[in-house]
Amino acid sequence: MKPLPVILGILLVAFSAAIRAAGATVTQARPNILWIIMDDVGAELPCHGEKAIETPNIDRLVREGTKFDRAFLTASVCSPSRSAMITGMYQTTIGAHHHRSGRGTEKIHLPAGVEPVPALFRRAGYHASNGNYPSKGDGIGKTDYNFEWDPKIYDANDWAARQPGQPFFAQLQLWGGKNRNDNGRWYREAAPKALGTLTRPEDVTLPPCYPRDPVLLEDWAQYLDCIRFCDLQVGSILRRLETEGILDQTFIILMGDNGISHARGKQFLYDEGIRTPFIVRGPGVARGAVRGDLIEHIDMAATSLAAAGIPVPPWMQGRDLLAKDYRKRDAVFAARDRCDVTVDRIRSVRTERFKYIRNFHPLRPMLQPSAYKDAKPTVIRLRELHAQGKLSPLQEELLFSPTRPKEELYDVQADPFETRNLAGDPAFQSTLEDLRARLDRWMVETRDPGPESEKAYDASHAYELKNARSPKQREAMIRDNARTKQWAREGK
C-alpha cells in the first residue's frame, strides 16, 4: 500500500486535473508568471516587419498585450544571456560572461547576496518550474547558467505538480532556431507535417551582408519556418492556459535568448545578434500597446517579480518596465566574450539612433575560426564564396576583413543593418566621443572584469574537449585552441 502522503499527492493532482478538464477558473490571489524562451530566435517576426511568414499566435500576444519594439539582449550567445536573464544582472557583473564557463575545474559563484530569480519566487510561495517544450520527460529544461546553482530552485519541469491554487513561476524553453541544426532532418521530416507548407527560399529577404546564394536562402527559409513552429507551440501553450482557466491570471513574457545563428548574428553585437522580440501579456499589462523605449532583457526579472508583488532586490540591475515611476533607459549595453575556445572581447552601447562597438582584439579577423560556427552550412558556404572571389566588396569587408576597426559607429536609423562605419567621419566625432565615454562609465559602474585568466580558459577548453560531439569537432577545437594561443603570444 502506498504511504498516505503519496496517496494525498495523487488525489491532489487528480483533483487539480479535474478542475482543469472542467474548464473552471482556479482562483488565486497572485498571478502566475510564465517565461517562454525561444532558442536562437531574433526579431525576424511579422510583428517586427518580417513579410515572408505569418505567426497568428504570437500576433495574438501582441494584440492582447504590450510589444516592446526596442528590446535588446545584454549578451549574444545563450549561456551568458541566460545567466543574466535568471539573475536580472549583467553577465559581466556576475562574472558569467564567457560562454559555457564555470563548467570545468574553475567554478564561478554569484556575488554575495545575489540569487537566481526562481529562488526568490519559491521563497514567496510560488511553485517554480523549468521545462523544455514539448516535454519529453527529460527533466528540468535548458538552464545553461555559467555559475554554480542549486537544482532545488526548481520544483519540477511543469506547473502541473503545484498545489491547487498555488501560483507558479514557470519557464518553457522552445528549441526555436536550433531545429535546423540537425543537418536538415527536422526540416525534411517534422516541419512539413507540422506546418503544411514550407517557406520558399526565393521569398526570403537577406541582410545585405549575405549573398543571395541558394545555401544561404535555404537556411534562412528554414529559420523562418522554425519561427513558424515556435508560433504553433505558443498557440498550444495559450490553449492549455485557457483550458485550465488561468490564461488571464498568467503574466507571460515571450523573448529569445540570442539572435539568429548566422555569421554576423549570434555571438556578435550587431542587432542581428542582440535584438530580441519581447512581448508581455497578462494582469496589469496594456492591451495592444507598442512601446518604443529601449529595454534590456534583464528587465524581465524585475518586471516579473513586481508583477507578482515580490520586492525587487536592490542588487538587481534590471528594471520593472511597468512601474509607475519607471525611468526609461537612454541607452542599452551588451558584451561578447570567449565562445568555446574562440577568444574575443567586444562591448557595445546603443541609443535610439546610434550604436558604438569597441573591439578589444582589432588585429584578429572578423570571422575568427570557430569549431561551432565553422561547422554550419552557411559559414562553410560563405568561406567557399570568399575563396572563389564571389562576394561583393561590402560582404568581404563585413565578413572577411583580416582585421577589425578598434571602434565602430553606426546610425541604426539610417543604416539598420550596420554596414557603414561612421567612426572615422568627422561629422560624427562628438557622437563617437559621447558613446565612447558612456561605455567607459558603464564598464566601471557595472564592474566589468574583462578577460578571463589563462587557468580558467584552459579549464573551459578541457571541459569542451571532454564533451565534444564528434572526433571532427574535437580536432577543430584543438586546432582553434592552438591558433588562439599563438595569437595571444603575438599580442593579437
User: What is the third-level CATH fold of 28-450?
Assistant: Alkaline Phosphatase, subunit A (3.40.720)
Distance CA 294, CA 273 (A): 16
Element (H, E) at 486: helix 471-489
Per-residue pLDDT in tens (0 to 9) along the chain, 492 residues: 333 233 323 333 333 343 333 333 445 789 999 999 999 999 999 999 999 999 999 999 999 999 999 999 999 999 999 999 999 999 999 999 999 999 999 999 999 999 999 999 999 999 999 999 988 777 999 999 999 999 999 999 999 999 999 999 999 999 999 999 777 788 888 899 999 999 999 999 999 999 999 999 999 999 999 999 999 999 999 999 999 999 999 999 999 999 999 999 999 999 999 999 999 999 999 999 999 999 999 999 999 999 999 999 999 999 999 999 999 999 999 999 999 989 999 999 999 999 999 999 999 999 999 989 999 999 999 999 999 999 999 999 999 999 999 999 999 999 999 999 999 999 999 999 999 999 999 999 999 998 899 999 999 999 989 999 889 889 989 999 999 999 999 999
Query: Domains of the chain: which residue ranges?
Result: 28-450
Under 8 Å between Cβ of 101 and 341: no
Burial 458-490 (b: 16+ CB within 10 A, else e): bbbbebbeeeeeeeebbebbeebbebbbeeeee
Q: What is the pLDDT of residue 27?
A: 52
**How far is CA 370 from each of CA 23, 68, 218, 467, rounded to the nearest angstrom?**
51, 33, 22, 16
Which ranges of 45-174 does DSSP label H, i.e. alpha helix? Answer: 56-64, 78-85, 117-123
Contact call for residues 67 and 46 (beta carbons, < 8 A): no
* Residue found under cell 549595453: 333
DSSP string covering 198-220: ---GGG----TTS---HHHHHHH
Name the helix (H) or strand (E) containing 407. strand 407-411
Which pLDDT value is given to residue 322?
98
Max CA distance (Å), the chain: 82
Distance between CA 117 and CA 361 in Å, rounded? 34
Q: For residue 28, what is the DSSP state?
A: -
Distance of CA 306 to the CA centre of its chain: 22
pTM above 0.85, yes or no: yes
What's the pLDDT at 25?
42
Q: Which residues contact 332 (CB under 8 A, 6 or more apart)?
A: 70, 72, 74, 294, 295, 296, 349, 350
